[in-house]
Structure 1
Amino acid sequence: MGQTVIKLKPNEMKKLIQHYSPYRESKTPPHSVLVATMNGCKITAYESGKVLFQGQQHSQEAQKWESSETTSTKSTNSKSSQHSPGFLKQDHIGSDEAGTGDYFGPITVAAVYATEKQQALLRELGVKDSKTLKDPTIKSIVKDILKTDIIYSSLTLSNEKYNKLQRKGWSQGRMKSWMHHHAIKNVLNRMDDSIDPSGILVDQFCKPEIFHNHVKATGGQPRQDLTFMTKAESYSTPVAAASMIARYRFIYEMARLSKEVGFDLQKGASKVVDQQIKRIIQSKGEAYLDQVAKVHFANTKKGKSL
C-alpha cells in the first residue's frame, strides 16, 4: 500500500485535525492525535507533527497540506510535485469551495473569470488565499470584489439537499464535482462568445479522472480542458477570488442559520459543535438537524450521546 509522510507546523496540524474530525476513528495508536479515513485514504496524525497518509489517494491527499512550510519526509509510489500551468499569469477561470469540513452550514462553490488587468486589481483589493484571512476581512474584501466587472458564479448546496443526496449514495466528492462543474459552466455561459479563456483551473480535491467520473454520474458532460492543482488558491488570483467568494457565501449562510437556531453556530467540527447539537435536539428535535447540518458527520452521534 502506497504512503506519504509529511511534517506540519502546529498551526497547520490544527487545521488538518479540524478538517478530518468528521471522519475520525475512535481507536488511535500510541502518540497519535487523530486517525481518520476519507475517500479511501487513511490519515494518521502524530504528536510529533508528522502525518501519515495511506491508500490509493495518499499522494493527492497529502498534497493538500504540503507547502513551502512543510517537509515531505517519505513518499512511496507517489508523485509529490506538480507543475504550474502556463496560463496562471494570463486570463483564466478558477474555482474553489468552502464549508466541506464544517458540521453546520452548507457547501459553497464559486468560479471566477478574470483578465490580467482584473487580476492585478483583485490583488490590490487584498485577494489571496481565504484560509490566511479572518472572516471579517474576507467579508470586507469580497464586497469590493463584487463591485468589479469580473465574471463569477457562486452556488450553495443547502444542508437539506446535501443530506438527501448523501442518503442517495452521493459522496461529498461527487457533490463538490457537480458544483464545480456547474459553477464553471455558469461563468462560461455569462462570457461573451468572443472571449476564449487561456485556461480553467480547479482547486484539486481528488484525481482528475475521479472528478470527471463524478460529473458523469450526475448526468453532466465532463470538460476535458480543466487543469487541477492542489493549493491552487496560492498560485492563481481567480482561484483565490473564488475561494473568498465561496467563504463569503458560507459565512452569510452560517449567519442566517444561526439566526434561525437562536444562537451562533460554531464553525468546524469540534466538541463545541457536539454541545450545540445536544442543545438543538433538546429545543427543536433531532429532525431539525437536517436543515442546518451535515448529519452523517460523526458529530451527530457524539451530540446525541451527551
Structure 2
Amino acid sequence: MGQTVIKVDQDTIFKMKKHYHSSISSKQPPHATFVAKKNGLTITAYTSGKVMFQGDQHEEEASLWGSGVKSNNKKKSSGEPELPKFLSQDHIGSDEAGTGDYFGPITVGAVFATAQQQELLRELGVQDSKNMKDDTIKKIVKDILKTDIVYSTVTLSNEKYNSLKQKNWSQVRMKAWMHHQAIKHVIGKLDGQESKGILVDKFCEPGIFYNKIRASNEQPLEGMTFLTKGESKSTCVAAASMLARYRFVQEMDKLSGMVGFNLQKGASNIVDKQIKRIINSKGEPFLDKIAKVHFANTDKAKKL
C-alpha cells in the first residue's frame, strides 16, 4: 500500500478535519488529530502537523492540500543505491546493543510495524538510539510499549556469553543467532499479518550471517536484507535499536546493584579502574557474571 506524508499548519489541519468530517473514524492512534477513511484511502493527521495519506490515489489526494509532499514512491538520485520498497511498508527490523561494552550483556531487539504504526513511532520520537541519551530512550520506549506493535527482545547474559566464548563462538556468531531468534519470535506473533520484508542492521556479510545460523543447526529465514546504518533507513530498525538499548540499560542497572556502584558503559580506562576495584573486593571469578572477560580491559586492569 502506497503512502504520502505532508507537513501542514494547524489552520490547514482544521480545514482538513472539516472537509473530511463525514468520513472521520472514531478510532485513532495516540498523537493523532483525526483519522478519516474515504474510498479506499486513509488520512491520518497528527498533532505535529504531519498528515499521512495511505491507499488509493494517495499522492493525488495529498496534492490537494499544498506543497511539501513527501511520497514513498520518490526515486533516489542516480548516485544513491535504491532502497528496498518494503521499507515504507509493513516490515520487520532488528538491531543490537551492548556489543562494545565490557560490562553488561548483548541485547537484540526486533520490531514489526505497519506503515501507519511506523508513522506513529516517528511521532513518538523513534530514531537511531546512538544519537540519544539513555534517559530519553527510556521515556520513548515506555511510550512504544503502549502501542500495539509486535516486538521481541533477546538478552545474552554475561555468564552465557563467556561460556560460548570458551566454546569458540565469535561475537558475530552470537549476534547472528540472537537476531535470528528475535526475528523468529516476532514472526511467531504476527498471527496472520504479512511482513513485506526483514531488515537487519548489517554487522557482517549476508553469507557469513547465514553460515553462522546453519552452524547453530537452524535454517536461515527467507526475505532478509542487510543494510549498514539500517536505523537511519527503517523506522522498525530504529525502534528495535531503542528497545535493545533499553533492555541493555535495564540489565546494567541490575549489575550495578550487584557491585554496589554504577558500572561504566563502554570500554574506557575508567572501566579498567572499576574492574580493578571489583577484583579487589569480590575476586576475579566474579567478573564472569557481569562482564565480557575476554576484552583486553581485564588484563589492563590486573596490571594497574
Provide the secondary structure at the position in 1 that maps to 2:292: coil
CA contact (8 A) 1:82 1:229 kept: no
The Cα shift of 1:224 comes to 3.0
Provide the secondary structure at the position in 2 that maps to 1:88: helix
Instruction: Provide the C-alpha distance between the structure 1 equivalents of 2:131 and 2:141, rounded to a whole number of angstroms.
Output: 14
1:169 counterpart residue number? 168
Instruction: Provide the C-alpha distance between the structure 1 equivalents of 2:165 and 2:214, rounded to a whole number of angstroms.
Output: 17
1:211 counterpart residue number? 209
Letter in 1 for 2:105: P
The Cα shift of 1:86 comes to 1.2
List aligned pairs for 1:43-62, cutoff 5 A: none
The Cα shift of 1:138 comes to 0.1
1:6 counterpart residue number? none
The Cα shift of 1:83 comes to 3.9
Q: Which has more radius of gyration?
A: 2
TM-score (norm 2): 0.73
Within the alignment, does 1:201 sit opposite 2:199 as a pair?
A: yes
Provide the secondary structure at the position in 2 that maps to 1:178: helix
Instruction: Provide the C-alpha distance between the structure 1 equivalents of 2:163 and 2:81, rounded to a whole number of angstroms.
Output: 36
Which ranges in structure 2 are unaligned for 5 or more consecutive residues?
Answer: 1-78
Q: Number of aligned residue pairs: give it.
A: 226
1:153 counterpart residue number? 152
Instruction: Provide the C-alpha distance between the structure 1 equivalents of 2:121 and 2:150, rounded to a whole number of angstroms.
Output: 13
2:303 counterpart residue number? 305
The Cα shift of 1:82 comes to 4.9
The Cα shift of 1:84 comes to 1.5
1:18 counterpart residue number? none
CA separation of 1:284/1:119 partners in 2, compared to 1, >3 Å: closer, same or farther?
A: same
List aligned pairs for 1:135-146, cutoff 5 A: 135-146=134-145
Instruction: Provide the C-alpha distance between the structure 2 equivalents of 1:125 and 1:205, rounded to a whole number of angstroms.
Output: 27
Letter in 2 for 1:117: Q
TM-score (norm 1): 0.73
List aligned pairs for 1:124-273, cutoff 5 A: 124-193=123-192, 195-273=193-271
Instruction: Provide the C-alpha distance between the structure 1 equivalents of 2:103 and 2:81, rounded to a whole number of angstroms.
Output: 33
Can you list the C-alpha shifts for 1:115-156, whole angstroms capped at 9, x where unaligned? 011001000000000011100000000000000000000010
Instruction: Provide the C-alpha distance between the structure 1 equivalents of 2:182 and 2:258, rounded to a whole number of angstroms.
Output: 28
Instruction: Provide the C-alpha distance between the structure 1 equivalents of 2:165 and 2:82, rounded to a whole number of angstroms.
Output: 34
The Cα shift of 1:211 comes to 0.2
The Cα shift of 1:81 comes to 7.1
Instruction: Provide the C-alpha distance between the structure 2 equivalents of 1:154 and 1:178, rounded to a whole number of angstroms.
Output: 13
Letter in 1 for 2:112: Y
1:96 counterpart residue number? 95
Instruction: Provide the C-alpha distance between the structure 2 equivalents of 1:143 and 1:209, rounded to a whole number of angstroms.
Output: 36
Letter in 2 for 1:162: Y
Within the alignment, does 1:293 sit opposite 2:291 as a pair?
A: yes
List aligned pairs for 1:272-283, cutoff 5 A: 272-283=270-281
Letter in 2 for 1:226: M
Instruction: Provide the C-alpha distance between the structure 2 equivalents of 1:276 and 1:127, rounded to a whole number of angstroms.
Output: 33
Can you list the C-alpha shifts for 1:80-138, whole angstroms capped at 9, x where unaligned? 97541111111100000000000000000010000011001000000000011100000
Give the percent of matched residue pairs that are identical in Structure 1 and Structure 2.
Answer: 67
2:63 counterpart residue number? none
Provide the secondary structure at the position in 1 that maps to 2:87: coil
Letter in 2 for 1:202: V
Within the alignment, does 1:123 sit opposite 2:128 as a pair?
A: no
Which ranges in structure 1 are unaligned for 5 or more consecutive residues?
Answer: 1-79
Instruction: Provide the C-alpha distance between the structure 2 equivalents of 1:146 and 1:134, rounded to a whole number of angstroms.
Output: 18
Instruction: Provide the C-alpha distance between the structure 2 equivalents of 1:279 and 1:82, rounded to a whole number of angstroms.
Output: 50
2:107 counterpart residue number? 108
The Cα shift of 1:304 comes to 0.9
Instruction: Provide the C-alpha distance between the structure 2 equivalents of 1:115 and 1:303, rounded to a whole number of angstroms.
Output: 48
1:19 counterpart residue number? none
CA contact (8 A) 1:111 1:242 kept: yes
Can you list the C-alpha shifts for 1:182-209, whole angstroms capped at 9, x where unaligned? 000000000112x221110000000000
